[in-house]
Chain A
Amino acid sequence: MTTFLQQTFNGLSISAVYILVGVGLTLVFGVSRIMNYAHGQFLILGTFVGYALVSAGAPWWLALLIAPLAVGALGVVLYRTMFQRLASDHLATFILTVGLGIVIQQLIVKIWSPEQRQIASPLTDSVEVGGVIFTDARLLMLGICIPVVAGLIWMLGHSDVGRRMRATAENPHMASLVGVDAVRTTSVAFLIGSALAGLAGVLLGILFPFTAFGGNAFLIKGLAVALAGGIGNVTGAVVVGLTLGLVETYGSAYGVGPEWQDGYAFVLLIAILAWRPQGVFRGTVEV
Chain B
Amino acid sequence: MGRRRRVYVAVNIALALVVLVAVPTWPPHLIGSANTTLLSVASLAAIWAIVAVGTGMFVNLSGLPTLAQGGLWGVGAYASGITIIHLDIGFWPSLLFAAAIPALLALPIALVALRTTGVAFLVVTIAFTEFIVLLITNLSITEGPRGLQAAEPPGSIGPLEFESLSSQYYLYLVFLALAIALYAAVARSRFGARLRAIRDRERLARSLGINVLVHQLIAFELSATVVGVAGALLLLQQQVVTPELFGSLQFIGIYLAIVLGGLTVLGGPALGAWIVLFLPLWIGSDDPNMSLLIYGVLLVAAMLVLPRGLLGALKGWTAGAAEPAPAAEPGPGGGDVALPPPVERTAQPLGDVLLEATSVKRWFGANRALDGIDISVRTGEIRGVIGPNGSGKTTLLNCVSGFLATTDGAITYRGEPLQGRRPDSIARLGLVRTFQEPEAFGSFTARESCELIVASARSREAVNEQLPEGADAVLASCGLSAAADLPVTELSYGQLRLLGVAMALSCRPYLLLLDEPAAGLTPTDAVALRDVLLNARAAGVTLVVIDHDMSFLLPICDSVTVLDGGTKLAEGEPDAIARDPAVIAAYLGESFAKRRAGMLAGEKG
Contact = CB atoms under 8 A, between A and B. Distances in A.
> Is A–B contact present in the complex under a CB 8 A cutoff?
yes
Interface of A: 29, 35, 82, 85-86, 90-92, 94-96, 98-103, 105-107, 109-110, 114, 216, 220, 223-224, 227, 231, 259-260, 262-263, 265-267, 269-270, 273-274, 277-278
Question: Which 7 pairs between the two chains have the least Cβ-Cβ distance?
Answer: A99-B299, A102-B296, A103-B296, A106-B293, A91-B65, A96-B303, A266-B131
A99 B298 contact: yes
Given A90-B118, A227-B123, A263-B131, A99 B303 contact: yes
Contacts of A114: 289
A231 B134 contact: no
Interface in B293-336: 293, 295-300, 302-304, 307
B307 A92 contact: yes
A283 B190 CA distance: 37
* Most chain A CB inside 10 Å of its own CB: which residue of B65, B248, B303: B303
A95 B134 contact: no
B252 A102 contact: yes
* Most chain B CB inside 10 Å of its own CB: which residue of A90, A96, A99, A267: A99
Given A35-B119, A99-B297, A102-B296, A92 B124 contact: no
A277 B292 contact: no
Contact of B127 (A109, A220, A231): A220
A267 B135 CA distance: 12
B293 A102 contact: yes
Nearest to A269: B127
Contacts of A277: 115-116, 120
Contacts of A216: 247, 249
B397 interface: no
A103 B127 contact: no
A98 B137 CA distance: 24
B424 interface: no
Given A98-B249, A277-B120, A92 B303 contact: yes
Contacts of B130: 220, 262, 266
A99 B295 contact: yes
Interface string B239-254: 0000000011100100
B138 A95 contact: no
B124 to A, nearest CB: 6
Nearest to A35: B119
B304 A85 contact: yes
Contacts of A265: 127
A100 B120 contact: no
B128 interface: yes
A98 B59 contact: no
Contacts of A103: 293, 296-297, 300
6 contacts: A95-B252, A95-B299, A95-B302, A100-B300, A223-B127, A263-B134
Interface string B515-546: 00000000000000000000000000000000
A132 B112 CA distance: 41
Given A91-B65, A96-B304, A102 B299 contact: yes
Contact of B120 (A98, A227, A259): A227
B444 interface: no
Contacts of B304: 82, 85, 96
Contacts of B124: 227, 269-270, 273
Contact of A90 (B65, B247, B292): B65
Contacts of B290: 106
B375 interface: no
B251 to A, nearest CB: 10
B255 interface: yes
A95 B259 contact: yes
B122 interface: yes
B415 to A, nearest CB: 34
A54 to B, nearest CB: 25
A12 to B, nearest CB: 24
A102 B292 contact: yes
B75 interface: no
B276 interface: no
A208 B109 CA distance: 34
